Structure 1
Amino acid sequence: MQTVTAIAELRTIIGAWRRAGDRIAFVPTMGNLHAGHIRLVDAARRRAERVVVSIFVNPTQFGVGEDFETYPRTEAEDREKLLAAGADLLFLPRVSEMYDPAAKTVVSVAGLSDLHCGAFRPGHFNGVATVVAKLFNIVQPDTAFFGLKDYQQFVIIRTMVRDLNIPVELVPVETVREANGLAMSSRNGYLSAAEKANAAKLYQALCAARDAVLSGVAAYADIEGQALAFLSEAGFRPDYFSICRSLDLAAATPEDRDLVILAGARLGKTRLIDNIGFSK
């Protein structure tokens, strides 16, 4: 596996692969890799001859007072995991390589970026959309793989790709969970052992809400309110718990068939997100 820090060198290598007729799969990450990331790499290997993984802790998607400085950085361990998973190239740029100090362009997906997580993290999804657009332009992959743990992020990127005619196929990959149901996340390392056990109640709340919808309960606001109360009683500080249409993340009605329930909550110092998608 090659490790590259410069855009020019990356493009030279990928250009040679393309001339050889290889398809390029891309997995963008912020590092501190876990089994969920490795599942993305495994899926990418099945779809292309070459797999590129990026590790870049993107400063523009962190707000004031968030954990950019303390976000876990484990590059040596990440390299070993990617080597074992069969990745061909690790792109490990510095901030100065990704962002010109005089840059003025921001990619914003209107409307979608202000809902749910976006309401509690202003500007976050503008940072996500901008860096993903830049990475797509740098790597120019045939396919790109995203975990569905952050479903809102996936919908925003899908919309951006459609609206900007970016020639990349997006491949969603199901969330990988701990044995107790907790969605794997790099931020789970912030949780104490007791908090990690308790954190599984977020997924329990999602499952209970899904089951209520599937049983025919039509008062979605009541289901959401009960879930928020359950999480608060369990020691969470919930930001939102929303039953949505999976296509556009608007509030669902009983007539909608394809749904996703999104949740964001804080437990101790850690902010957790999760979701569950289903069809009626």
Structure 2
Amino acid sequence: MNYVNLDIQNGVGTVEFFTEQSNSLPGEILKKLAETITEAGGNPEIKVIVLKSGGDRTFCAGASFDELIAIETPERGKEFFMGFANVINAMRKAPKFVIGRLQGKSVGGGIGLAASVDYCFATKHSAIKLSELALGIGPFVVGPAIERKMGLSAMSQMGINPDEFYDPQWAQANGLFAKVCEDAEELDAAVEAQAKKLAAYNPEAMAELKKVFWRGTDHWDDLLSERAETSGKLVLSDFTRNFIQKFKNK
């Protein structure tokens, strides 16, 4: 049932991902997601990209616990967390604006995805939680994207309170969401209207403006690789393994 799809209509490339476990992301889906976003960015038929997930509840539950518990070496750990780094960098490097559609909650790496789009719509159900510290790791890979979008204060507030959900109004006030919609119907209408407008604008102008928005991030290939290495080591700790096992045994 897990998938990543790209649908192209009227200049809008919609990238949709889905996994059965609350849209949590294993390495295979992360790899496909990064590749599909890169493909959409290079397709001349596409003027604007929409990122969404399947289902009607959680947008993204972050890293797959099944995959985290299976990591046995620091190298394999880094490889897994590079999956998130590659998705973030794919959105950063895409010469087209990426619109986010968040129908529900985002946890951990899911907030990193939301922070890496250029314009994000959500619903009143789109609470966010940066849960990594509770797992014994930290929001190292997604941190730069979240800090860039929301500021260090908001990022550190979430990072230090890994058990707390923050409501979508708080996320909007701190710059993550552009608009909070009442329900999925209103959400889809808002995303469609914004994508339609952008698809009619000058692609060259949008590409240049996106460079302005992401100025100062040219070093992220190296930075996120270093952060992935840190997470890859910490995920092997007894603390993290015990936490995940207890969670899975609930």
Give the TM-score normalised by structure 1. Answer: 0.26
Task: Give the structure with the higher percent helix.
Answer: 2
Task: Give the structure with the higher percent strand.
Answer: 1
Which structure exhibits the higher relative contact order, with contacts defined as CA atoms closer than 8 Å and separated by 6 or more residues?
2
Of the two, which has the highest radius of gyration? 1
Give the TM-score normalised by structure 2. Answer: 0.28
